[in-house]
């Protein structure tokens, strides 16, 4: 499991490799909030290398989205595989987040 932060076209991109679950969600939260404090406003979480996400991982994404919006920013998602899409549909979080099929489409949407 690892989180990698990159920047492209003014967007902070967070890649999640492995699981986003109760044991590591705080690490993701801390990394993205640091970028928010540094002035980042456009955020993209890329799930291309992500395995599974539990309820606390989903909760952190909701929490981060709120905090980023409060600062006038936006958090978008990309590259969900079919299982992750199902998870977002089950919880109706697909209605809360802007989700792109690819990183390129997500970057173009900002």
List residues near other proteins by CB under 8 A. 1, 19, 21-23, 51-56, 58-60, 62-63, 66, 82-83, 86-87, 90-93, 95-96
6 vs 49, which CB is nearer to other proteins? 49
Smallest separation (angstroms) from other proteins to the CB of 109: 21
Smallest separation (angstroms) from other proteins to the CB of 39: 25
83 vs 104, which CB is nearer to other proteins? 83
Structure tokens at 52: 């599974």
| Ramachandran angles phi, psi of 21, nearest 5° | -140, -175
Smallest separation (angstroms) from other proteins to the CB of 34: 19
36 vs 107, which CB is nearer to other proteins? 36
Q: How far, in Å, CA of 50 to CA of 47, rounded?
A: 5
The helix-helix angle for 55-70 and 25-37 (nearest 10°) equals: 10
Tell me how crowded residue 42 is: count the other CB atoms within 10 A of its CB: 20
25 vs 103, which CB is nearer to other proteins? 25
Q: How far is CA 105 from CA 23, 48, 66, 99, 102, in A?
A: 30, 14, 22, 9, 5
Smallest separation (angstroms) from other proteins to the CB of 47: 13
């Amino acid at each position: 499991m690892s989180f990698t932060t990159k920047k492209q076209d003014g967007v902070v991109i967070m890649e999640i490799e492995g699981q986003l679950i109760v044991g590591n969600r705080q690490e993701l939260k801390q990394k993205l909030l640091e970028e928010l404090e540094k002035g980042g406003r456009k955020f993209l979480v890329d799930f291309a290398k992500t395995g599974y996400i539990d309820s606390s991982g989903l909760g952190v994404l909701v929490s981060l989205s709120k905090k980023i919006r409060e600062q006038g920013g936006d958090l978008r998602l990309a590259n969900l595989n079919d299982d992750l899409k199902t998870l977002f549909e089950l919880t109706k979080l697909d209605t809360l987040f802007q989700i792109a099929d690819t990183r390129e489409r997500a970057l173009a949407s900002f």
